[in-house]
Amino acid sequence: MKVLVACEYSGTVRDAFIARGHDALSCDLLDTDVDGPHYKGDVRDIIGDGWDLMIAHPPCTYLCSSGLHWNKRVPGRAAQTEEALDFVRLLLDAPIPRIALENPIGCIGTRIRKSDQTIQPWQFGHDASKATCLWLVNLPALVPTTLVEPRIVDGKKRWGNQTDSGQNRLPPSADRWKIRSETYTGIAEAMADQWGQLEGNNNAN
């Protein structure tokens, strides 16, 4: 398969597909964190280059629920959300037979369409909670691989990346956004295992 991983600098999803024999390329405005096939630039430049599958991770800053309250407080912020939504529409409408787009819970689901699936890293072998929505085009839902049981704190479920109150354990830092945006390896491997084996790839609809 010829696989485009849009808006990825970590190389996590790209390398999971490469390890299984696919021709995968990551693309982002940033350099790749790990050496490998990577296009540094705008995904619009290469989105029409005959891909079989695209997995897209558009920036969530102006889309996720946790930040939308700023739209009424910061001038220009609402316009940035509209630009981000237009970018999501472009990705979902790309001339690629199979597409998966991931993002946290936010306004994509209310402004474009509901997500097809919501997954958690604890369903794929990680002691972590982070709800991630998937919008799928001609792809089946991901099947969980390895369930990780939570701690129970005062009757509530908590995973290793959470404090007892449910907050994320990562302290504020200059690169916190980058760390939190990376795809968990268990999810990347599930994508490569499950979507990379579909019949009728090679540009089939």
| pLDDT single digits (tens) 6-22 | 999 999 999 999 999 99
On whether the pTM is more than 0.85, the answer is yes
Contact in structure between 99 and 53 (CB atoms under 8 Å): yes
CA torsion through residues 43, 44, 49, 54, sign = positive
Q: Copy the structure tokens of residue 163.
A: 């404090």
Q: What is the DSSP letter of 92?
A: H
Is 132 in a helix, a strand, or coil? Answer: strand
Q: Copy the structure tokens of residue 64.
A: 């996720």
Phi, psi of 132 (to 5 degrees): -130, 125
- Average confidence score pLDDT of the chain: 90
Domains of the chain, start order: 2-195 (3.40.50.150)
Strands (E), 48-194: 53-56, 98-103, 117-119, 132-137, 151-153, 156-158
Q: Given this model, what pLDDT does residue 203 score?
A: 44
Q: What is the DSSP letter of 142?
A: P
| pLDDT single digits (tens) 43-68 | 999 999 999 999 999 998 878 887 78
| pLDDT single digits (tens) 24-47 | 999 999 999 999 999 999 999 999
Q: Copy the structure tokens of residue 202.
A: 């090679």
- Strands 2-6 and 117-119, by their bridges, are unpaired
